[in-house]
Chains A and B, each alone.
Chain A
């Protein structure tokens, strides 16, 4: 919880109304974003994203598993977020559990598409090794290191960066294996397949303060919100998921307006992220 005096509250609200926020940003401007990839060597892919003071890490771990009966030709992805108790005093003990669960479900909703697997940001069919028998299970873990608002967007960006950093080992299947026995497989430790992450959407949270909404809110600004809508948008400007936070009701026309603003903002954010990821990857390669 942010403790703010009445004067400070008015200052924040007034600033947002006049399109000049406390840190000098406009309503639809982001804080500086920095991306670092390959921060966890033992994971298949990882990234650290900082948006202003907000600091998150995402890692991707791939394991061989069995596809579900309903979708034999698709791999499985699970997302789990942990809010470290160092990030904010309120997360101590079990205080972060509720937020962790909320962020996890919001990210699953935004990145994994519908139940049939259509519309997922990650091409699940590329994870299949043998139809109905073996597939890759991706375990995506997020860690909130420091929280200064806008966690969902930062985590979404970190997962996108971690996925583009991910190499999945190539699997050779021994030919001629009979259909019911367990096929022999050979996991290569040299050849890696890169992911196509161009379809992974970005998440844009529009926080409504007073009559206006802002992107990339700090925790001080979030304490003044009446409601927030998180919209995930991909490069084709399609909506991949919406989650609403905060209790106050919103007029449907405002939500539609928010969606079109998010679509507009997404383009800048995707370009910015892509170039950051590319330069991080390039830096990574130079070092190794």
Chain B
């Protein structure tokens, strides 16, 4: 029996005998692999209080994308930090080794970490916890497309669960441009063949965008269409998140 680390031999995961047909998948009259309409999101499931050890936490499940976010604090900032009369936000996003179809290293995701930080920082009232730090840690249990938007929405719910003051909940949705169609809430296969993507993070009640990224070539009308799709979906998502919070609050009262 092999020990862990070090001397493990090289391994590979067996591939299926029939290679999936790639190109025909996204021809003109294609249907999405999971049978959704182009403008239809995956069913979203949220639950707060997933981790008891944290001050606040939330679990989110969009199709096969599953995420847990824990919030710790406000707690003492690191010793090396200088005095600050506003609070600090510290984020981290990591993946499990089994999150992706091929076993990964389970390491931190620097890009997502930075994006999560930017998406949330505009929504949190940092003045409400001076000199201290709020830590937002996310773990992607299973990754199956649109990971970052799910992490962001789940993190804002965890912040609410921890009682951190925010201007509004933050909801995030992305659309992919796949062979001339805009598809909302793309799954892994669609993201791999996308020509472009647009992700919006917004505070729906304030109607403000906190984070926006676009890749690929977009004409002006298409950007308008994509943004509108995302904003509408964000508003719907925020309703689901809000009802999840209300449910949790009424449960604890009983």
Contact between A and B in the complex (any CB pair below 8 Å): yes
Residues of A within 8 A of B (CB): 70, 98, 101-102, 105, 109, 112-116, 118-119, 227, 229, 234, 237-252, 255-256, 259-260, 263
With A249-B202, A249-B206 in contact, do A119 and B216 touch (Cβ < 8 Å)? yes
* B207 contacts A241, C-beta separation under 8 Å: no
Q: Nearest-CB distance from B63 to chain A (Å)?
A: 19
* B118 contacts A115, C-beta separation under 8 Å: no
Which residues of chain B are near A252, meaning CB under 8 Å?
Answer: 202, 207, 209, 227, 231
Question: Which of B35-43, B69-77, B152-160, B192-200 is the interface stretch?
Answer: B192-200
With A249-B203, A259-B223 in contact, do A239 and B214 touch (Cβ < 8 Å)? yes
Query: Any chain A CB within 8 A of the CB of B208?
Result: yes
* A251 contacts B216, C-beta separation under 8 Å: no
* B217 contacts A118, C-beta separation under 8 Å: yes
* B216 contacts A114, C-beta separation under 8 Å: yes
* B227 contacts A250, C-beta separation under 8 Å: no
Q: Nearest-CB distance from B81 to chain A (Å)?
A: 14
With A114-B196, A115-B193 in contact, do A241 and B214 touch (Cβ < 8 Å)? yes
Which residues of chain A are near B209, meaning CB under 8 Å?
Answer: 244, 249-252, 255
16 contacts between A and B (CB under 8 A): A101-B110, A102-B114, A113-B217, A114-B195, A114-B196, A114-B216, A119-B195, A239-B217, A239-B223, A240-B217, A241-B214, A243-B212, A250-B209, A252-B227, A256-B224, A259-B220
Q: For the complex, what is the distance from the CA of A244 to the CA of B118, rounded to whole Å?
A: 9
Query: Any chain A CB within 8 A of the CB of B218?
Result: yes
Nearest first, the 9 A-B pairs at minimum CB distance are A249-B208, A119-B217, A114-B216, A118-B195, A242-B214, A247-B122, A119-B216, A247-B121, A114-B196
Q: For the complex, what is the distance from the CA of A250 to the CA of B192, rounded to whole Å?
A: 30
A to B contact number (C-beta, < 8 Å): 112
* B215 contacts A109, C-beta separation under 8 Å: yes
Query: Any chain A CB within 8 A of the CB of B219?
Result: yes
Residues of B within 8 A of A (CB): 110-111, 114, 118, 121-123, 167, 177, 191-197, 202-203, 206-220, 223-224, 227, 231
Which residues of chain A are near B211, meaning CB under 8 Å?
Answer: 244
Q: For the complex, what is the distance from the CA of A188 to the CA of B221, rounded to whole Å?
A: 46
* B216 contacts A113, C-beta separation under 8 Å: yes
* A251 contacts B118, C-beta separation under 8 Å: no
Which residues of chain A are near B197, meaning CB under 8 Å?
Answer: 114-115
Which residues of chain B are near A70, meaning CB under 8 Å?
Answer: 192
Q: Nearest-CB distance from A80 to chain B (Å)?
A: 13
Which residues of chain B are near A251, meaning CB under 8 Å?
Answer: 207-209
Which residues of chain B are near A238, meaning CB under 8 Å?
Answer: 217-219
Residue on A nearest B117 in the bound complex, by CB: A247
Which residues of chain A are near B220, meaning CB under 8 Å?
Answer: 237, 239, 259-260, 263
Residue on B nearest A250 in the bound complex, by CB: B209
Cβ 8 A contact of B114, one of A98, A112, A118, A237: A98
Q: For the complex, what is the distance from the CA of A101 to the CA of B223, rounded to whole Å?
A: 26
Which residues of chain A are near B202, meaning CB under 8 Å?
Answer: 249, 252
With A241-B214, A245-B118 in contact, do A116 and B223 touch (Cβ < 8 Å)? no
Cβ 8 A contact of A114, one of B123, B203, B208, B215: B215
With A105-B111, A249-B202 in contact, do A244 and B208 touch (Cβ < 8 Å)? no
Q: For the complex, what is the distance from the CA of A24 to the CA of B123, rounded to whole Å?
A: 35
Which residues of chain A are near B231, meaning CB under 8 Å?
Answer: 252
With A115-B192, A251-B207, A255-B209 in contact, do A234 and B110 touch (Cβ < 8 Å)? no
Q: Nearest-CB distance from A71 to chain B (Å)?
A: 10
Cβ 8 A contact of A113, one of B111, B167, B213, B215: B215
A sample of 9 more A-B contacts (CB under 8 A), given A98-B114, A118-B196, is A102-B114, A113-B195, A119-B216, A119-B217, A239-B220, A249-B202, A251-B207, A255-B209, A256-B227
Please indicate which of the listed interface residues B121, B177, B212 has the most CB atoms of chain A within 10 Å of its own CB: B212
Which residues of chain A are near B121, meaning CB under 8 Å?
Answer: 247
